[in-house]
Amino acid sequence: MKQLTVVTLGTGGEAFLTRGVERALREAGHLVLRTARHPMAAWLKQEAIAFDTMDDLYDTCEDFDEFNEAVARRLADFCSKQPVCYAVSDASFDATVAAASRLFAKKHTPCTILPGVSHASRCLALVDAPAPSVRLYSAADFERAPHSPEEALLLTELHSQACAGDCKLKLLSLLPEEMQVTLITGKEETGELKAVSIPLFELDRQKHYDHLTAVYVPGVPYLSRSRYDMDDLVQVVTRLRAPDGCPWDREQTHESILPDLLEESYEYIQAVREEDIDHMYDELGDVLLQVAMQSEIAKEHGEFDLLDVTSAICGKMIERHPHVFGQVQADTSEQVLENWEALKRQQRGISSHADAMANVSTGLSPLLRASKVQKKAAKVGFDFDSAEEALKKVYEEADEVKENLQSGKDPEEEIGDLFFSVVNVCRLCGKNPDIALFSAVEKFISRFRAMEMQVKNAGKCVEDLTLSEMDVYWEAGKQNG
């Protein structure tokens, strides 16, 4: 198979051709244009340079994926007879060129690409205040691409109102709808471009869109926005920890903010149980702040950073889900958990059930750790038959606590056994002991507030009442919910 040379025509006329591209066009054994709908088509005819096009494939292919592959196969067929020069608007970003490159690489056939003046370069030349660095995407690629709103952005090939609408919705998730963006449009016959400033919300309200339509979106600093992403959170935390940042935040350590991590987690749990959506995302943001703060403190001490955190969890999820990212079979949740447990045992060198129990993190709350240890014991049948059976053990342990108290012995060990027995009941009921206790505390506070309010309404003060008198108001509060 003969060589394929791909050249960049740009989106204008012959004035934008490089000398190398013009020479390739004139000396081509077989010149093929992606489409005759290009300003250069008229010039080629004027210069008596013969060419073929791929325009017929636009009608016969169902979508662009099929079109790209069909172009690649046709180019390969042409190259089997003589060297081919394939001309596109921008070889670096053309999907048919990518498809052809893959095919020709499989066939070990040379494929040379000659650069030129790209459409992106022409668009950026029209922007009044271009940024020193710009993120470039085709509109179709942008829909699934990451984007930081602090970066300037150029989106090309806004070929339809629907495409422009999809891009607008993604941009509006982080940017103000009234912000000014630069819309760039062109004339297909001449390739002439013009730029106008419009508010972002009008991006999908234009009269005409085609392959020349593009939009330049300037970067917006986080202090000028009301919507933020993870990168913004890192910037905020870094600023708080800076030498001229917040005195309180600068003083914090891994250990000092551990209580905050626990508190924010429980507040999120409460929001979930109350089905309070507004508080759910608010409290989850507080949890995320703790992750960012711990990572920033670690970064300052050269320990790790947020990238290490995200890398660790992504790597762990990929490794522990071989049924999703690999070839292992797991059709049920039970199989997934079995595979997960087996991987953990292998990684941590666990060889016995006692080892597995000892391996349960001591960083967990004692209640939750007790529950996890009990679950591991239950896997080998060392368990109560039901929550009712486990409840009998609670009464037994409570009697032993009572005996210790009456005899003047230290009751700590028996109280621990009592807690352990209560955790067994929770587990067999399918309840989390931490959440159950947390809810009980919240209920106590609520009822105490109701009692206090009733005492106040009666013209009395809680501090002046006896326990028996307070109990009357307490019971009344319980009756009222």
Helix (H, G, I), strand (E, B) or coil at 198: strand
What pLDDT is attached to residue 1? 61
What pLDDT is attached to residue 481? 57
pLDDT tens by residue, 32-58: 999 998 999 999 999 999 999 999 999
What pLDDT is attached to residue 364? 76
Evaluate whether residue 96 is within a structural domain. yes
| Residue ranges of the chain whose pLDDT lies below 70 | 1, 480-481
CATH code for position 274: 1.10.287.1080
Length of the chain (residues): 481
Q: Are 159 and 194 within one domain? A: yes
Residue among 420, 349, 430, 347 nearest 387 (CA): 430
Q: Are 454 and 407 within one domain? A: no
The answer, as to whether pTM is greater than 0.85, is: no
User: What one-character DSSP code corresponds to residue 462?
Assistant: G
Evaluate whether residue 341 is within a structural domain. no
What pLDDT is attached to residue 197? 96
Evaluate whether residue 464 is within a structural domain. yes
CATH code for position 216: 3.30.950.10
- Number of separate domains in the chain: 5
Residue 399 has phi, psi (to 5 degrees) of: -65, -35
Residue among 420, 366, 425, 368 nearest 397 (CA): 420
Q: Are 220 and 234 within one domain? A: no
Range of the domain at 423: 350-431
Q: Are 389 and 412 within one domain? A: yes
CATH code for position 25: 3.40.1010.10
Q: Are 147 and 93 within one domain? A: no
What pLDDT is attached to residue 32? 97
From 70, 95, 117, give the residue that closes a domain. Answer: 117
Tokens standing for residue 236: 């905020």
From 66, 83, 117, give the residue that closes a domain. Answer: 117
CA triple 174-240-244, angle to 5 deg = 125
User: What one-character DSSP code corresponds to residue 28?
Assistant: -
Query: C-alpha dihedral over 341, 342, 345, 351, to 10 degrees?
Result: 120
What pLDDT is attached to residue 470? 86
